[in-house]
Amino acid sequence: MPWPFKWGRGRQTPPTSLDEIRASFERGAQDEEHFPSTIDPRIYHVKLVLEHLGPVHSALDVGAGKGRFARIVREQNPTARVVCFDLALEMLRRVDPGLHTCAGSMTSLPFASGAFDGVYATESLEHAVDIEAAVAEMCRVLAPGGRLVVIDKNAEHWGKLKTPAWEKWFHRQELEKLLGRHCARVESRLISYWEDVEPDGLFLAWLAVK
């Protein structure tokens, strides 16, 4: 079956195995500079996740890494069950106590349908081996009326950064269309790291309500 979306490259690339991607992130867990454990809560990516999710009883961080976003979501929702989900066990070993952890592939989330009020993926969907399956799974585990945030890189700026062979960037309308298969409302916007800085086009945020 032909791949229906162009994503970042606009060309076919050799498939990368899940094991290869996992091994890369297992090694990367040692690299605090490029895979930090914390994030400044003033960064607009963080503020937007909190703003769109609103108060939650349960939230899933898909591709959580070391749980830097999840830590702040939990601080804002101290009674909530916040789950850090990641492919790499070494990443999850660095997650704060008090946050739940679970390892696996985002194309097959081991959670019941409708299990979470909020789901978000910050610069992690780009690493999925099957984008359509990953989006479908995030939407499946989201409860009716629940809110979903995807923050990732804009395919219109492909080549601006060095990337691993498997990474995909997203065209704005293509990911809107894909999310729209599963959610009642979808919107997107260009965003910057800082709220008072004009976006340069590199980052996009997709905001959905199931």
CATH code, 44: 3.40.50.150
Q: Which two tokens stand for residue 174?
A: 């293509």
pTM for this prediction = 0.93
Q: Is 45 helix (H, G, I), strand (E, B) or coil?
A: helix
Q: What is the predicted pLDDT for the residue at 14?
A: 56
Looking at 58-201, list the stretches that DSSP marks H as alpha helix, in order from N- to C-terminal side.
68-76, 89-92, 131-140, 172-180
27 within a domain of the structure (yes/no): no
Q: In whole angstroms, what separates CA 109 from the centre of its chain?
A: 13
User: Which pLDDT belongs to residue 2?
Assistant: 30
Order the strands of the 185-191 sheet from edge to edge. Answer: 100-103, 81-86, 58-62, 116-122, 142-153, 203-209, 185-191
Number of domains in the chain: 1
Judge whether 115 lies within some domain: yes
Q: Determine the structural domain holding residue 153 and report its residue range.
A: 40-209
The token pair that represents 44 in the structure block: 């607009």
Please tell me the predicted confidence (pLDDT) of residue 3: 34
Q: Does any domain span residue 176? A: yes
Mean pLDDT within 94-114: 97
Residue 18 covered by a domain: no
At 59 the three-state DSSP class reads strand
Domain-embedded: residue 26: no
141 in a structural domain: yes
**Residue 8: pLDDT band with limits 50, 70, 90:** low
Phi first, then psi: give them for residue 74, nearest 5 degrees.
-70, -40
Q: Residue 70 contacts by C-beta under 8 Å, 6 or more apart in sequence?
A: 59, 61, 64, 82, 83, 84, 95, 99
pLDDT score of 4: 41
pLDDT of residue 16: 82
3-state SS assignment for residue 163: coil
Q: Is residue 116 part of a domain?
A: yes
pLDDT at 77: 97
